Structure 1
Amino acid sequence: MADLTVTAVDDDGLLLAVEDEDRALDVLFDGRRIWSFWSLRDTIESDTTEGAEAERRIAWPERMLRFLHGVTRLSVRDHVAGTVLYDEEMSFGDGDERIAFVNKQGLPIALDKSGRFHPEFSVRSGDQLEPLLEAMHRVIAVLEEEGIAAFPAYGTLLGAVREQDFLGHDSDADLGYVSRHVSPAEVVRESFRLQRALAVRGMATFRYSGGAFRIDVEESDGSVRGLDLFGGFFAGDGRLYLMGEVGVDFREEWIFPLSTVTLAGHEFPAPAEPERLLEAMYGPHWRVPDPAFKFETSARTKARLDSWFRGLSPFRRDWQRNQAHRKADVDAPASDLAGRLAADTAVGTHVLDVGAGRGSDALHLARAGFRTTAYDYVPQTLRKAERVAGREGAPLDVRMLSLTQLRSVLAEGARIARQEGPRAMLARHVLDATTELGREGLLRFAAMTLRGGGRLHAEFATGEGEAGEGLYPVALDGVLAAIGRFGGSVVSADVEPGPAGRAGRAVVVARW
């Protein structure tokens, strides 16, 4: 086995002396695995003096930084071989207590393969996981009533086949099914039908895309675990597509008729040849444990799944992975746009903050006496603002809204339109952060909720040049024309040119 040593650990990260073999490494704090990475794939070359042994560095994940204040016994081990490469008592930051990776409920947490903190299965008892197993049985039974044969998928199937249990480093459960439909549109309709069937039976759900959604399961201690349901189908080209990572040549007899697997002492349905599906999901080395696994979905498969199923939520995955984990500074000063809306709007008006992000504007408006509803298609980013408002008694509500999903816009628009009282809408960097369909969704939502004199205050990047991260400048004339098409009238439209090479800033106020 190639030599690998950990040469230094500090507040910034780890320094490794690595040869050519890429290996999965675990980082443990006081004996508990918190994070895993690959020695070559996830590291970068470190600046070294000429002639020194080549070294590679990896920074602590951003989500870990808030915990790194105190002392711990830090260990690094080879995940497969179990060899300990580093083991030292260490101090981080300016704290003097033992570092503890726990959530607000006091539950031990670790980083999953998506880089998010969750209570891993390894720290949960059988009694605590029993509600999840029962929920899996219940969902499978409901789907069977609907004519769908579901089975454990992805990490849950991997754990059942390889270990007859949940993977210790996993943090949610997955189910999948292969539809008898061959049209993506019919697969989408079927997925929504299944979601309704589960909702009627009292299950809380959250939709990811046209072909996948989550069922929330409350464990015995009150914590909530996600149970994902991924739809799939055989396309006319003989390939199996399964949300959200599989697109491979496959035979129907490798799925049907279903067999069985054992998971944590429970028997569940399984594909006829589960090993073949696991290879399609994880590659030929699926039998080798890898807590730092990353899907490498082909461009062809990703493009097809995006076009068929993810058009409902463009950019949502990027927002979740790259933005949503950043610390929410809900006490940041209100934006100029929110200040302008507050100055132009009577206290008591219901303010709809669309694309509210982390909620600093929404919280500011609620504190100022406006009944405020904060909307985002990833509403988890608003939870801190919601908690702060609840403690302070500020009138802030958080709701999910997807501007690219017509049913979401129409349903929420109809709900708001039936309410009494004046309304105003804030849309800061929404028009330039979505697609043309999303822009139409925003203006349709405004048309439904602001009729009778309500005003939309919108800010967006416009003109030539670069905008901020995740922003795409849009033409002012196009926005003004679209407002007219949806029945609005422009009150004002101001443009502030940007510096050289940067897009300008437009602020538009429209009335319905």
Structure 2
Amino acid sequence: MAPVHDVRVDAEGVRLVGDDVLCNLAFDGRRIWSFWSRRDGTPDGPCWLVRWPDRLGLHLDGVTRVTITLGTGEVVLDDEVRFGTSTERVAVVDRQGAPLGIDYYGRLVKTFETKEEGQLEPLLDALGTVLGLLQAEGLEAFPAYGTLLGAVRDGAFIGHDSDADVGYVSHHTHPLDVIRESHRVQRAVQRQGYPTSRHSGAAFKIDVPDADGSVRGLDVFGGFFVGDHLALMGEVWAPFEREWIFPLGTTTLEGRTFPAPARPEPLLEAMYGPGWKVPDPAFRYEKDESAQRRFDAWFRGTRVNRPQWDHRYGLARLLPPYQPPHHLAEHLHEREDPDTWVVDVGCGRGRDVRWLAKHGRPTVGLDYSETAMTFIADKAAQQGWPVELRTMNLLELRQVLAWGALLAHRPGPRTILARHLVDSTSPVGVDHFWRLAGMVLRPGERVHLEVLTEAIEDDEGRPPLTRPVDVDAFLADVVARGWVVTGREDLVGEPIDYGYGEEPSRDKQWRTTRLEVEAR
């Protein structure tokens, strides 16, 4: 008997009876998702239920041939299944029709196994370019994580992976020097014309154009030796010999030769465990909590809640935000002169940015999460709205100062919108927000804020990313910073977008305070 049996699928997910085994699920012959039957499931009577990933569930409307194959190659289900009401074939594709699959992290992305011959050439070119750039900056870099694993194990990209990774081991021994080095290298990459974004103090992403016009991310992870341990972002913290990295050797990936650690096997074991030679499309990183705390303290002070914000907006990033503006945006529009342009700091999905722009106000939207702004950024480009949407991290002073200088030099009267910003960031973020506002606004110009004044309770138990504020203490701090409070309105019954994808709070409404603060 197979290690699992009585396998069936329905609107909730996959139900089966048996052991914990690797399962690969395909629709009409194409692998879509892989999972472990018990690790990823929950008991459901006599069987186990593995629920559909949220992002995949959005595509389950139609008919498809569902095949489930175990890691051993044994087929345990092969049935024609209908989901929802549509009679069309289920299509797990993006808006351009490109096939998608679930990756390691539960994201619905274009995986390498969906690419045709030749379509990975731009990524290979960029990988070689980036390795060359890093070498020119004095770093001995090499393909890392899934890219290194695929090269060493198969000489090819891993089919269920979706991006390329680069690592390097710095010769510095202090985290601060590693951070400075990483920023220096990032600037060098930007000078070559590649857009970048920062993951942490020692890791950043390079956006690489793909053959189909989309963008793939190439991650650059910094590392260094701490005594007899290797610390590599991503994250590796393990006893390690320097001779296992240096001097670099070579490996072959998709027919091309790239640098590699002198002995890649110990590094792959540190990354994936002793079973790294056996393919596992459902692999899950099991991070050491003490190692994670160490990396957080060294490198991630500027990344507080970033994954949570990206996850919150990820489900709906390709869908339009709700149409009506928030009341604070309407209040701003009534209060400010018609020729006043707006900076929406913490703009989220751009709901108010869109409304203000459509009412004739040029608006700059800045947010921590690039994922949040995807739909409105594309729509604004198509419609020609007077909108500029960019990422800005309030926790990184260099970004705050750069944006402050850029915005300060723009002509015309301006105002700042900050809805549920100061109640969603850290004390450092609050300090940096007021520094930004002080650079951008001229005497007499205003900041329009709204803050939560009672704790959010989520029926589904999801931790809120917005916390209540003691308004009196907050205003005392604002005055101490040299601002003038010109308006305060305590509100009852304001909806809060606290769920996933700007999900409204349905019938739940909370206490908030609307504030107007003027620059001296």
User: Whole-Å Cα distance in 1 between the matches of residues 298 and 6 of structure 2?
Assistant: 45
Aligned equivalents of 2:114 and 2:510: distance in 1?
49
Distance (Å, rounded) in 2 between the aligned partners of 1:295 and 1:478: 42
Question: How far is the alpha carbon of 1:82 from its aligned partner?
Answer: 1.3
Q: Which residue in the other structure is 2:48 paired with?
A: 56
Relative to structure 1, is the Cα distance of residues 345 and 6 closer, same or farther in structure 2, using a 3 angstrom cutoff?
A: farther
Which stretch of the first structure deviates more once superposed, 454-463 or 158-167? 454-463
Task: Structure 2 unaligned segments of length 5 or more: list them.
Answer: 495-507
2:365–2:387 Cα contact (<8 Å) kept = yes
Alignment of 1:274-423 (within 5 A): 274-326=264-316, 328-423=319-414
CA distance in 1, matches of 2:485, 2:408: 21
Match of 1:215 in 2: 206
1:17 aligned onto 2:17 = yes
1:242 maps onto 2:232 in alignment: yes
Q: CA deviation at 1:241?
A: 1.1
* Per-residue deviation, 1:502: 10
Comparing 33-42 with 447-456, greater Cα deviation is found at 447-456
Aligned mates of 2:390, 2:84 — CA distance in 1: 37
* Length-normalised TM-score, structure 1: 0.93
CA gap of 1:60–1:268, structure 2 versus 1, over 3 A, is same
Match of 1:120 in 2: 111
Partner Cα separation in structure 1 for residue 509 and residue 364 of structure 2: 32
TM-score by length of 2: 0.92
State whether structure 2 residue 256 is matched by structure 1 residue 266. Answer: yes
Cα deviation for residue 464 of structure 1 reads: 6.3
User: Distance between the aligned counterparts of 2:73 and 2:34, measured in 1?
Assistant: 13
Counterparts of 1:191 and 1:104 in 2: how far apart (Å)?
Answer: 35
Cα distance, 1:503 vs structure 2: 7.6
Residue of structure 2 in register with 1:507 after alignment: 514
Of residues 251-260 and 329-338 in structure 1, the stretch that sits farther from structure 2 once superposed is 329-338
Q: Is contact 2:7–2:76 with CA below 8 Å preserved after alignment?
A: no
The answer to whether the aligner puts 1:434 opposite 2:425 as a matched pair is yes
- The count of corresponding residues between Structure 1 and Structure 2 is 501
Q: CA RMSD in A?
A: 2.1
Aligned-pair distance for 1:478?
3.5
* Aligned: 1:474 with 2:439: no
Instruction: Indicate conservation of the 8 Å contact 2:61/2:82, yes or no.
Output: yes
Query: Does 2:195 match 1:204?
Result: yes
Structure 1 counterpart of 2:340, one-letter code: T
Q: Which moved more, 1:166-175 or 1:56-65?
A: 56-65
**Residue of structure 1 in register with 2:37 after alignment:** 39
1:71 matches 2:78: no
SS of residue in 2 equivalent to 1:213: strand
1:175 pairs with 2:173: no
Deviation at residue 6 of structure 1 after TM alignment: 4.8
- For residues 161 and 148 of structure 2, what CA distance do their matches in structure 1 show? 12
Question: 2:34 & 2:479 partners in 1: Cα distance?
Answer: 53
Quote how far apart the aligned CAs of 1:30 are: 0.5
The one-letter amino acid paired with 1:345 is E
Partners of 1:473 and 1:503 within 8 A in 2:
no
Partner of 2:120: helix, strand, or coil?
A: helix
Q: Residue in 1 aligned with 2:502?
A: none
What is the aligned-residue identity percentage? 45
Relative distance call for 1:483 and 1:187 in structure 2 (3 A) is same
Displacement after TM superposition at 1:431 (Å): 1.2
In structure 2, the partner of 1:51 is: none
Secondary structure of the corresponding residue to residue 94 of structure 1 = coil
- CA drift of 1:240 comes to 1.2
| Deviation of the 1:355 alpha carbon | 1.1
Cα shift at 1:16: 1.6
Change (3 A) 1:498 1:102: closer
Mapped partners of 1:353, 1:8: distance in 2: 49
After TM superposition, give the deviation of residue 251 of structure 1 in Å.
1.5
Deviates further, 162-171 or 456-465: 456-465
Deviations 1:408-443 (A, max 9, x none): 100001000000111111111111211111111111
Letter in 2 for 1:304: R
